[in-house]
C-alpha cells in the first residue's frame, strides 16, 4: 500500500517533469511543476507575443519561438491579465493530463521511440521494481532492461482503445504494467482484432505481465470506476489522509494511473 502511494505521488509530481513529455507538450510546450501549481491554485497564461519578443532580446536567438510562451501565475494576477491573454487553470491541466513518457521518449504522432529526444533514465527504484516483476517472464539468467515507460492517466470516461504494443524491437521481452487508483476493466483479446476478448478487473496494486502469447495480443481499457463502491481504493485512501495530501486524495479518488514499462531493444 505504501509502495502504491509512492508511485501515485511520483506519477503526479516527478514523472511529468521535463524533459519527460506529456500530452500537454504539443500545445503548451514543456510545463514545469504542474502539481505544485495545482496546490498553489496557479493559472497558466500565454505571454503576449509583443512582450515575448522583447524578452528574447538580441542575445537569445537560438531557442524556438514557442519555447516557454506559457507561464504559471498566481490566481489574482491571472484574473487581471486573463482578460487579454489566453489562460488555463493548473487544476484543469492536471485533470486533462492523459500520458507522460519516461526514459526513451515515445513519439505518439510517429508511433515510435525517438532516441534523439532529450531524456532521463527511468528512476532506479522503478527499474528495480520492474525487473522483479518481469523476472518470471524472462529466460533464466537474463535480466529485463527497462528503457522506456508510458504513464497513462484515466479520469471518469477516459478509455484506452484496443491496440497492440508493437513498437518495441524485441517482442520476446515482456511489458510490465502496474495499476494504481480506481478499478478498471481490462480487455485482453487475441492476435486478431476479431478475436473475442477476455475481461478482467484491474485494481490498485495489480501488476500485469504482457508476456509470451499475450505480448502479441490486442488489449484495451474500456472503463474505469470512480464511485466509492466500485473504485476499491478504501485502503489506499488512508495513505493520503494527512491534510497535506488533500490534492493527491482528490485526484486519485477519481482517477486511475497505469505505468507500463518496456524494454525497447
Contact residues toward ligand OGA (CB under 6 A) are 150, 152, 160, 165, 177, 179, 186, 202, 219, 221, 258, 260
Residue 35 · residue 247 · CB < 8 Å:
yes
Pick between residue 33 and residue 165 the one whose CB is nearest to Mn ion.
165
Q: Answer with the entry of ligand OGA, Mn ion, none that 24 interacts with (C-beta below 5 to 8 A by kind).
A: none
Longest dimension (CA), the chain: 63
- Name the one range near Mn ion by CB under 5 A: 66-74, 108-116, 164-172, 182-190: 164-172
225-239 b/e (C-beta count within 10 Å ≥ 16 → b): bbeeeebbbeebeeb
The answer on whether 24 is annotated among ligand-binding residues is: no
The piece of 70-78, 85-93, 115-123, 162-170 that touches Mn ion (CB under 5 A) is 162-170
Look at residues 165, 202, 159 and name the one whose alpha carbon lies nearest to residue 183: 202
Residue 165 labelled as part of a binding site: yes
177 binds, among ligand OGA, Mn ion, none (CB under 5 to 8 A by kind): ligand OGA
Strand order in the sheet with 70-73: 70-73, 43-46, 87-89
**Cβ at position 230, least distance to Mn ion in Å:** 23
Which does residue 221 touch among Mn ion, ligand OGA, none (CB within 5 to 8 A, set by kind)?
Answer: ligand OGA
| Nearest to ligand OGA of 181, 239 (CB atom) | 181
Q: Does 165 bind Mn ion (CB under 5 A)?
A: yes
Distance of CA 121 to the CA centre of its chain: 16
Task: Give me the half-sphere count of Cα atoms (radius 13 Å) on the Cβ side of residue 213.
Answer: 5
CB of 160 to ligand OGA, least distance (A): 5
Distances (CA, A) of 170 to 107, 212, 265: 18, 12, 6
Q: Which is nearer to Mn ion, 16 or 189 (CB)?
A: 189
State the nearest-atom distance from the C-beta of 103 to ligand OGA, in Å: 14
Binding partner selected for residue 226 from ligand OGA, Mn ion, none, CB under the kind-specific 5 to 8 Å limit:
none
CB of 186 to ligand OGA, least distance (A): 5
Question: Is 206 one of the binding residues for Mn ion (CB under 5 A)?
Answer: no
Calpha distance 144→139 (Å, rounded): 9
Q: How many residues bind Mn ion (CB under 5 A)?
A: 1
The answer to whether the Cα torsion of 7, 200, 106, 31 is positive or negative is negative
If the CB atoms of residues 15 and 72 are measured against ligand OGA, the closer one turns out to be 15
In the complex, what is the shortest distance from the CB of residue 16 to Mn ion, in angstroms, rounded to a whole number? Answer: 20
Per-residue CA distances from 23 to 50, 68, 217 (Å): 27, 16, 25
219 is in an annotated binding site: yes
- Name residue, grid cell 489522509: 241
Question: Nearest Cα to 233, choosing from 207, 208, 206, 263?
Answer: 206
- Among 18, 22, 40, 48, CA closest to 90: 40
Q: Which residues bind Mn ion (CB under 5 A)?
A: 165
Annotation: binding site for Fe cation: 163, 165, 219
User: Residues forming the annotated binding site?
Assistant: 163, 165, 219
Amino acid at each position: 500500500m505504501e509502495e502504491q502511494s509512492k508511485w501515485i505521488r511520483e506519477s503526479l509530481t516527478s514523472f511529468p517533469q521535463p524533459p519527460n513529455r506529456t500530452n500537454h507538450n504539443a500545445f503548451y510546450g514543456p510545463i514545469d511543476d504542474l502539481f505544485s501549481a495545482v496546490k498553489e491554485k496557479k493559472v497558466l497564461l500565454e505571454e503576449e507575443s509583443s512582450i515575448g519578443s522583447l524578452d528574447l532580446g538580441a542575445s537569445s536567438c537560438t531557442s524556438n519561438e514557442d519555447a516557454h510562451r506559457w507561464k504559471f501565475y498566481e490566481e489574482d494576477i491571472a484574473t487581471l491579465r486573463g482578460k487579454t491573454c489566453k489562460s488555463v487553470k493548473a487544476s484543469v491541466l492536471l485533470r486533462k493530463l492523459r500520458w507522460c513518457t519516461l526514459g526513451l521518449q515515445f513519439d505518439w504522432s510517429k508511433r515510435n521511440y525517438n532516441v534523439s529526444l532529450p531524456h532521463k533514465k527511468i528512476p532506479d527504484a522503478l527499474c528495480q521494481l520492474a525487473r522483479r516483476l518481469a523476472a518470471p517472464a524472462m529466460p533464466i539468467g537474463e535480466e529485463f532492461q527497462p528503457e522506456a515507460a508510458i504513464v497513462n492517466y484515466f479520469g471518469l470516461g477516459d478509455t484506452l482503445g484496443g491496440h497492440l504494443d508493437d513498437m518495441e524491437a524485441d517482442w520476446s521481452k515482456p511489458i510490465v504494467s502496474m495499476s494504481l487508483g480506481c478499478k478498471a476493466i481490462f480487455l485482453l483479446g487475441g492476435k486478431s482484432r476479431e478475436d473475442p476478448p477476455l475481461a478482467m478487473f484491474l485494481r490498485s496494486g495489480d501488476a500485469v505481465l504482457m508476456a509470451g502469447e499475450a505480448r502479441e495480443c490486442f488489449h484495451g481499457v474500456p472503463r474505469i470506476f470512480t464511485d466509492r463502491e466500485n473504485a476499491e481504493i478504501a485502503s489506499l485512501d488512508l495513505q493520503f489522509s494527512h491534510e497535506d495530501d488533500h490534492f493527491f486524495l482528490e485526484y486519485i479518488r477519481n482517477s486511475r494511473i497505469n505505468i507500463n514499462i518496456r524494454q525497447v531493444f
